[in-house]
Amino acid sequence: MFRKILWFSNIYLAASAPFDRRQADPKQSKSPGQERQEGEFDFAFVDADKENYINYHELLLKLVKVGGIIAYDNTLWQGSVAHSEHEEVEDTYRDTLRKLNSFLASDSRIDPSLVSIADGLTLCRRLR
């Protein structure tokens, strides 16, 4: 019971934080978060431009501490990533997210878990 109360309490705290609508460009020389110290964060949630998820992953591996979690939203993309490569599916992000899922599955620095809720959520525990 205490965990749920603590969890909901943290959600409400996060909801009250100021929201920054600026677009983050991972190719900038000063990306958001670079002024932070390595291993400073316990958790990171990514729901951004899908083409840059792998770039965000590399940045977040520096910022999230060992044992911390990086969560990627929309990794099932309405189930389209599960279709055969030969099956024609009209979707801009399908191939991008398939590449991301393959990349995360083969990355020895993390332990990924794909949660099949809604549009998919991949939780990656940083190992090293």
pLDDT tens column, 26-67: 555 455 555 667 888 889 899 888 899 999 999 999 999 999
**pLDDT at residue 6, as a whole number:** 40
Buried/exposed 18-30: b ≥16 CB within 10 Å, e otherwise: eeeeeeeebeeee
Domains defined along the chain, listed by start: 37-83+92-128 (3.40.50.150)
Question: pTM here?
Answer: 0.69
